[in-house]
Amino acid sequence: MIIAVDGPAGAGKSTVSKILAQRLGFLYIDTGAMYRALTLKALEDNTDLKDEEKVIELVSSISIDLINNPDGSLKVLLDGRDVSRLIREPRITKSVSDIAKIKGVREKMLILQRGLGLKNNAVLDGRDIGTVVFPNADKKFYIDANFKERVRRRYKELKEMGQEVTEEDIDKDLRNRDTIDSTRKIAPLRKADDAVLIDTTDMTIEEVANKMFEIIDNG
């Protein structure tokens, strides 16, 4: 069984997807983390991010593994190295949307993500899961929240991770990523016609997870 969870940054997708996967005993696949791991590799190798050929070469040469820890958290391995924290740094967040808009990169990620999903019952979260990666997913959700609330949540999350950020930085980053992610030519962020829209602005994470669980349970 495949559950697709799409939506913009900061809407609460990854938190609820993790909860859902844990409750259902499914694999949690954070597809954004895969684009982030590639971005980290490109920055570490001083690859010119505008050189699409080079970035595409890079994506074919690395291995990305997602390990679900028993406590529900996610470990991201880049060529066997734990990069779970590094990929959340602002320098990665700033560049990831530019990497994710490259056609050859998305083609490679699509193969990896489908491979993972076909081998497991899985909850996948991202931008194009219900539209492109798994258009026949058993259940599709589109998780959204108003812009101000998304900024507030992302700010709180990064502060809790110990990052020195301001709400202004987050506002700028989300605006920029929303624009790139939803206007790119390949697989832009869009609600699938058959996805259930959940506006989480005034909901707690538990309420969102319960609602999704109910919808899945009722077929």
- Binding-site ranges for ligand DC (CB under 6 A): 9, 31-32, 35-36, 96-97, 100, 126-129, 177, 181
Report how far apart, in Å, the C-alpha atoms of 148 and of each of 41, 170, 203 are.
Answer: 32, 10, 14
The nearer residue to ligand DC, 18 or 177, going by C-beta atoms, is 177
- Distance in Å, CB of 42 to ligand DC, minimum: 13
* CB closer to ligand DC out of 4 and 218: 4
Tell me the closest approach of the beta carbon of residue 127 to ligand DC, in angstroms. Answer: 4
Judged by beta carbon, residue 160 or residue 214, the one nearer ligand DC is 160
Kindly give, in sequence order, each residue whose CB lies less than 8 Å from that of residue 207, ignoring residues fewer than 6 positions away.
Answer: none
**Alpha carbons 77 and 43: distance in angstroms, whole number:** 16
Closest approach of Cβ 218 to ligand DC, in Å?
26
Residue type, 91: R
What's the min distance (Å) between Cβ of 217 and ligand DC? 25
Closest CA to 84 of 98, 70, 65: 65
Sheet strands side by side (includes 81-82)? 64-68, 74-78, 81-82
- Quick one: 89 or 167, whose CB is closer to ligand DC? 89
* Structure tokens that stand for 93 in this block: 């967040």
Q: Which residues pair with 78 in a beta bridge?
A: 64, 81
Question: Among 212, 189, 188, 191, which Cα is nearest to 200's?
Answer: 212
Minimum distance from residue 92 beta carbon to ligand DC (Å): 8
